[in-house]
Structure 1
Amino acid sequence: MTQSPTTPLPPPTDRRRLRESQSLTRAQVAERVGVSRETVRAWETGRTTPRGRRAQTYASLLAAAPAHPAPVAATEDMAALTPAQAFDALYAFCAPALVRQTYLLTGRRELARESVERAFQLAWHRWPEVAMDPDPAGWVRATAYECALSPWHRFRARHRHPEAPPADPADRALLSVLLKLPPTYRRTLLLHDGVGIGLPETAAETEASTLATANRLLHAREAVAAHLPDLADPAHLAPRLAGLATHARLRAARPSSVRACSERRARNWTQAAITFTVALIGATTFTLHTAPTHYEPPVAPGRTVQGVPPQAAPGPLSHAELALRKRLQNATAAGPERVQPEPR
């Protein structure tokens, strides 16, 4: 009979959380334990249980993560936490790894930090909804990826110029290949091979069918293998992705500043909405006070009056009249017939 390991094996519901708390992928755990990635997935879902030396190695690997109480005690502790404390715990658990993952999507360190901070700001703004979500980390991760892959970033002046690539030539080549992939392929590859999420979960998070997600994953792997033949094996690609994200040396902001920024944004939007409402009410009141209170018929168009002769106007002079006027003008200017006034 196989003896139980000296290090207790956590229940299946905690195994994935303990692995992710150390920013480890299923491929990395499988490589250290000496099994396949599918076996690690089966251990985390509870379909199978490790035995013998593998169980001892797997338990020791998970024991390196921060200890957590039993599920019942954890539920009681979570109920005793304030919303700010629960948010800070989620932020400390997810933010460091999420910033590194977002960097692989964008290739920009500042954009990765902004996207993660924006995702957690939205999470704090909707905290009752996020706190009741079955997978709060998945909610924040999906929001951060959506923010990072938004097409509106290309209109920002600060993001029109590329950032400095990684110093390592191998990391620089891998990041260049990733950024050449379509955003949906890049996200699928990162979730499945980088984070270690299963194909159905990846399809659900990317809002695609399982078949479409599998095709995207295959095409992404083929594109990476075409430029980097040494990464044709997915088992080699996963640790390279994790290493590339780790070498970026990205740091997340403090959770208190993220909560403060979220509250400030909410106040600004509330003030803007109140200002717009007041302006709309004022414009409506002004219109009501200045609008006419009775009906004013429009002025009828003018009509021609019959029976009135047209007004006479001086017409052109005839030749005889022109000659007479000229003669009179010449005669009165100089001649003996000119009347001279006599003094009295």
Structure 2
Amino acid sequence: MTQSPALPLPPPKERRRLREAASLTRAQLASRVGVTSETVRGWETGRSTPRGRKGEKYARLLHDLGDEAEVTPRQESAVDSDDPEPSPEAASARRSARARRKAAATGRKRPAAKDRGRGPVTVPDRSRTPVPHGHRVILAERPRTKPPRRPDDAVTALTPDQAFDALYAFCAPALVRQTYLLTGRRELARESVERAFQIAWQRWPEVARDRDPAGWVRAMAYECALSPWHRLRPRLRLPEPPPPDAFDRALRDALLKLPPSYRRTLVLYDGVGLGLPETAAETEASTRAAVNRLVHAREALAERLPELADPETLHWRLVELASIERLRAAKPPVVRRGGERRARFWTRAAIAFTVALIGTTALTVRTAPTHYEPPVPPGETVQGVPPPVAPGPLSEKEQKLRAKLRQEQQGGPDRLLPQPR
């Protein structure tokens, strides 16, 4: 999956010399290539070797810096000389450099939209291809214009709010489009990116010290977008309006039918343009597993859409699918205040739950018995006791005895009867 760059790479010391001659820092060179400053440090010290598309882009950039370094001294010597007119060597060098840049620009054109669906289209290496005219958005997190150079004290003087807003403005537009390719839902893509940045704002000291804050936020946004709990939300069960173009609809459906891990690997490698080691690290897999996922994802897409067998064509189709939706992220202050409100809500909810738990515990302790009370045993049936007989009607013999006793005179002294006065 990796290949050596087409242009020869200079030695590690020469790489550093060319960068310093162009007055570029490691971070600026890394932003141009699309890697981290630590990766550039490893390339300049010789600890690692540039490979793949990033290596080709790095080699071309060093070659351009070498050409500029050759032309600049000649121009300066022409200016410093007594003759105000530039020398023929400097003029020819400038013309040759301009001709090389023009030839490279004319040879790097993307396929037209009318050729869509007519079979495989040959597209050059996208690492050297600029953003096409009419498509102002891209999938990679990189600035559209070269940022102005600022001294180190100006960078360190940024407040946390300003640093967060700068990171959000740098990454959010591209992240919304990447998460749309993962989920196929516009609103879910925005929510995932906002939630990722809210988590980043809550853990800002950790994110600010990370060597790749954009990668940290991207991994969190992908996790939020691919969460399996979204299927339980009733609002997300309704289908969204599909893209207007038939090919874009077919590509979106084919992406959504891939497993989440395959889809994420494909978007990172063919969409964002990360290398295989960076893709494997971000997906928490080995490089061999990332290669297998990428190969199977490409085969599944090529089986459904044969015109996407070329990786470069696949890249531009992904860019078009993400760009046609015109997805826009919220403003940084809105996301930051939303994260703070969410944090306050959950903090107050945790405090209220804790107070309720303490009150319930205190009530239980107050009303609980202080001594042991044995339970009342269940009743037992007593055997051998005759059942009680209720009074009933007298028999004939009993009636005769009662009449006889009433008729006979009672024995003993006469009964005393009260006399009236």
Q: TM-score range by the shorter chain?
A: 0.7 to 0.9
TM-score (norm 1): 0.76
Q: For residue 305 of structure 1, report the CA deviation from its aligned partner.
A: 8.0
Counterpart amino acid of 1:126? Answer: R
Q: In structure 1, the residue corresponding to 2:371 is in which secondary structure?
A: coil
Aligned partner of 1:65 in structure 2 is: 145
Counterpart amino acid of 1:42? Answer: G
The answer to whether the aligner puts 1:14 opposite 2:28 as a matched pair is yes
One of 298, 301, 309 as aligned partner of 1:221: 298
Q: In structure 1, the residue corresponding to 2:63 is in which secondary structure?
A: coil
For the structure 1 residues 315 and 64, does the alpha-carbon distance in structure 2 shift closer, same or farther, using more than 3 Å as the test?
Answer: closer
Q: For residue 49 of structure 1, report the CA deviation from its aligned partner.
A: 2.3
Q: Which moved more, 1:234-243 or 1:93-102?
A: 234-243
One of 170, 173, 179 as aligned partner of 1:96: 173
For the structure 1 residues 162 and 311, does the alpha-carbon distance in structure 2 shift closer, same or farther, using more than 3 Å as the test?
Answer: closer
The answer to whether the aligner puts 1:146 opposite 2:223 as a matched pair is yes
- Cα deviations by residue, 1:237-278 (Å, 9 ceiling, x for unpaired): 112211221111000000001000100011001101110111
**2:53–2:275 Cα contact (<8 Å) kept:** no
**1:121–1:259 Cα contact (<8 Å) kept:** yes
Aligned partner of 1:270 in structure 2 is: 347
The answer to whether the aligner puts 1:257 opposite 2:334 as a matched pair is yes
Distance 1:296 1:271 in 2: 41
The answer to whether the aligner puts 1:41 opposite 2:121 as a matched pair is no
**Equivalent pairs, count:** 300
Q: In structure 1, the residue corresponding to 2:344 is in which secondary structure?
A: helix
Q: Which runs of 5+ in 2 are unaligned?
A: 1-17, 35-49, 68-96, 105-126, 131-141, 401-421
Structure 1 segment 1-344 matched on structure 2, within 5 A: 8=22, 10-11=24-25, 13-18=27-32, 40-42=53-55, 49-51=62-64, 52=67, 65-69=145-149, 73=151, 75-300=152-377, 310=386, 312-314=388-390
**1:42–1:48 Cα contact (<8 Å) kept:** no
Q: For residue 169 of structure 1, report the CA deviation from its aligned partner.
A: 2.1
Identity fraction in percent = 60
- Cα deviations by residue, 1:77-134 (Å, 9 ceiling, x for unpaired): 3321110000000000000011011111111111100100000011001111111111
For the structure 1 residues 92 and 313, does the alpha-carbon distance in structure 2 shift closer, same or farther, using more than 3 Å as the test?
Answer: same
For the structure 1 residues 9 and 226, does the alpha-carbon distance in structure 2 shift closer, same or farther, using more than 3 Å as the test?
Answer: farther
For the structure 1 residues 292 and 173, does the alpha-carbon distance in structure 2 shift closer, same or farther, using more than 3 Å as the test?
Answer: same
Distance 2:396 2:219 in 1: 101
**2:57–2:128 Cα contact (<8 Å) kept:** no
Distance 1:293 1:63 in 2: 72
Q: In structure 2, the residue corresponding to 1:314 is in which secondary structure?
A: coil
Distance 1:89 1:223 in 2: 38
Q: In structure 2, the residue corresponding to 1:285 is in which secondary structure?
A: helix
**1:199–1:213 Cα contact (<8 Å) kept:** yes
TM-score (norm 2): 0.63
- Structure of greater relative contact order (alpha carbons < 8 Å, 6+ residues apart): 1
Distance 1:275 1:136 in 2: 34
RMSD: 3.6
Q: For residue 179 of structure 1, report the CA deviation from its aligned partner.
A: 1.3
- Cα deviations by residue, 1:24-56 (Å, 9 ceiling, x for unpaired): xxxxxxxxxxxxx95651266689822445789
Q: For residue 68 of structure 1, report the CA deviation from its aligned partner.
A: 3.6
For the structure 1 residues 59 and 158, does the alpha-carbon distance in structure 2 shift closer, same or farther, using more than 3 Å as the test?
Answer: closer
**1:9–1:59 Cα contact (<8 Å) kept:** no
**2:298–2:309 Cα contact (<8 Å) kept:** yes
Q: For residue 159 of structure 1, report the CA deviation from its aligned partner.
A: 1.1
Aligned partner of 2:44 in structure 1 is: none
